[in-house]
């Protein structure tokens, strides 16, 4: 087979890149090692930046998001029982975030993919990128016991943190930066009305909690747990009990509990590789960087990587601007590092580090400092709604 761009990974990064390229007439094939049903079963992000919404519009896939997604102008931060409202829209000159599940975004993108008629292979085994330093890269994989080869111009590594693309880059090329936190997030999804219209980020003596949602009737809650905690130890009752314990009193009283639709633990880490490209292989999204979810940035950074590569490849094919290819990593990493820093900062300020050290007191003081005036809250708000995408000239 032959295509212009071989895309490895059918998560939001791979699907969105494929859709944007297809609309520019740039041919692409998507490969994933699991089934579409498996991908849609993963419950992940929920807070979408405006830049991402605009990109979904450009891709022609924002219709349901605009209809069903909730626009949020505020976010609450509750510290030891006291609420602090961050008025995102006032503080940022009119910006907001959209609450719309990653699962729904993936669904919309998969539907659009099917309509576009472009090829996708799911449950593809042994996917391997080859010869990315040459001008004739190719990808091999197996499907139903048969070997396949895709010759292409470029390879997009959209295959997440555990994917093959980053790992196929020879040793010594990449520098890895990593921090693992001593806790994870235990998340629970339920068909219960959310405790509050706005999201509430909670700092309590027992640790962090987050009240989020997917719609007016579906809630997503998280509580911080030690890294070695097992989900089997958490019955739904135990989860609700602990959550109530951490919420401000009025919210605890309002909380409607119910059976979990999904419950899982995600470890928290910050991770970045530099550079995000090797020859004709480009890394996007979780394949190149992971952030702790406290700033709601993971999926949004994936979208900004897609934006950069999409604009570069469009200029390459339409205007012959091959000079831009070498700049992908540099442009992308500038925004990635801002997201990594913001996510690290929010994580530090809001979590319990189980250490009772001077750092804990300093983290408390820092949070109180940044919540104390509009001028300081603006610093948080500007980053939460998302920094602008860089122009590619
Ligand atoms: P994905 O979604 O992991 O997709 C990668 C795809 O690649 C496939 N794959 C392979 N295919 C072929 N061959 C191989 N060898 C392969 N290896 C892997 C996989 O099957 C998969 O289908 O990466 P992508 O597209 O870069 O998307 C990244 C986002 O999923 C991630 O950043 C966000 O979910 C992070 N995140 C959040 N981000 C936000 O912006 N806002 C949020 O509110 C937010 N909340 C969250 C989150 C992540 C969480 N968890 C579980 C880590 C909340 C949580 C709890
Ligand atoms: C979510 O709804 O899953 C969510 C929202 C905000 C975050 C992280 C996760 O910061």
Domains and CATH numbers, the chain: 5-177+268-385 (3.50.50.60)
| Band (43; pLDDT cuts 50, 70, 90) | confident
Question: What pLDDT does residue 160 have?
Answer: 98
355 — pLDDT class (breaks 50, 70, 90): confident
257-313 tens-digit pLDDT: 999 999 999 999 999 999 999 999 999 999 999 999 999 999 999 999 999 999 999
- What is the phi/psi pair of residue 2, to 5°? -135, 140
For a mutational test of ligand 2's pocket, the pick from 199, 295, 380, i.e. the residue with the most ligand atoms closer than 8 A to its C-beta, is 199
User: Counting ligands in written order, which one lies closest to the CA of residue 295?
Assistant: 2
**pLDDT at position 45, please?**
87
Average pLDDT of the chain, as a whole number: 97
pLDDT above 80 (res 356): no
Active site residue 297: yes
Asked whether the beta carbons of 312 and 361 are under 8 A apart, the reply is no
* Average confidence (pLDDT) over 22-29: 98
Alpha-carbon separation of residue 243 from 195, 228, 293, 367, 373 (angstroms):
11, 19, 18, 21, 29
Q: Please tell me the distance from the alpha carbon of residue 147 to that of residue 124, in angstroms, as a whole number.
A: 10
How many percent of the chain have pLDDT more than 90? 97
354 — pLDDT class (breaks 50, 70, 90): confident
Atom 6 in ligand 2: residue holding the nearest Cα: 296
**What are the angstrom distances between the C-alpha of 257 and each of 43, 95, 114, 203?**
19, 32, 38, 21
Q: What is the mean pLDDT of residues 179-185?
A: 97
User: Across residues 34-41, what is the average pLDDT?
Assistant: 95
Bridge partner residues of 222 (DSSP): 187, 210
Phi/psi of residue 319, each to 5°? Answer: -125, 5
Query: Would you give the distance in Å from CA 196 to the centre of its chain?
Result: 23
Pocket of ligand 1 (CB under 6 A): 8-14, 31-34, 39, 44-47, 102, 127, 158-160, 162-164, 185, 187, 266, 285-286, 293, 296-300, 302
pTM of the predicted model as reported, rounded to 2 decimal places: 0.96
Q: Give the span between the Cα atoms of 212 and 196, in whole angstroms.
A: 8
Q: Is 83 a known active-site residue?
A: no
Where residue 12 falls among pLDDT bands split at 50, 70, 90?
A: very high
Checking if the pLDDT of 91 tops 90, the result is: yes
Reading the block at residue 212, the tokens are: 């989020």
Atom 1, ligand 2: which residue's CA is nearest? 46
């Amino acid at each position: 087979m032959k295509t212009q761009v071989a895309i490895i990974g059918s998560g939001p990064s791979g699907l969105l890149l494929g859709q944007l390229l297809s609309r520019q007439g740039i041919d692409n094939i998507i490969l994933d090692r699991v089934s579409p049903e498996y991908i849609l079963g993963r419950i992940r992000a929920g807070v979408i930046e405006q830049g991402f919404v605009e990109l979904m519009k450009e891709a022609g896939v924002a219709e349901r998001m605009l209809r069903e997604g909730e626009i949020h102008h505020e976010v609450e931060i509750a510290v030891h029982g006291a609420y602090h409202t961050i008025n995102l829209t006032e503080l940022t000159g009119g910006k907001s975030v959209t609450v719309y599940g990653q699962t729904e975004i993936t669904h919309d993108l998969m539907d659009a993919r099917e309509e576009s008629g472009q090829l996708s292979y799911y449950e593809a085994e042994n996917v391997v990128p080859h010869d990315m330093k040459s001008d004739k890269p190719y990808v091999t994989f197996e499907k139903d016991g048969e070997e396949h080869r895709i010759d292409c111009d470029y390879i997009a590594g959209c295959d997440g943190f555990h994917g093959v693309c980053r790992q196929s880059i020879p040793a010594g090329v990449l520098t890895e930066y990593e921090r693992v936190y001593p806790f994870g997030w235990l998340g629970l999804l339920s068909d219960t009305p959310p405790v509050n219209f706005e999201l509430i980020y909670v700092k309590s003596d027992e640790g962090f909690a987050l009240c989020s949602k997917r719609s007016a009737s579906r809630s997503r809650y998280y509580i911080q747990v030690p890294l070695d905690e097992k989900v089997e130890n958490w019955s739904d009752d135990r989860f609700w009990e602990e959550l109530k314990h951490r919420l401000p009193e009025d919210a605890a009283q309002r909380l409607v509990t119910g059976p979990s639709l999904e419950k899982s633990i995600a470890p928290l880490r910050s991770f970045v590789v530099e550079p995000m490209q090797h020859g004709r292989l480009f890394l996007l999204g979780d394949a190149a960087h992971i952030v702790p979810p406290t700033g709601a940035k993971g999926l949004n950074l994936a979208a900004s990587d897609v934006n950069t590569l999409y604009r570069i490849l469009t200029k390459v094919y339409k205007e012959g601007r091959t000079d831009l290819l070498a700049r992908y990593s540099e442009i992308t990493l500038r925004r990635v590092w801002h997201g990594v820093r913001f996510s690290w900062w929010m994580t530090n300020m809001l979590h319990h580090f189980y250490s009772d050290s001077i750092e804990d007191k300093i983290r408390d003081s820092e949070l109180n400092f940044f919540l104390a005036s509009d001028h300081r809250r603006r610093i948080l708000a500007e980053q939460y709604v998302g920094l602008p995408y860089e122009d590619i000239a």
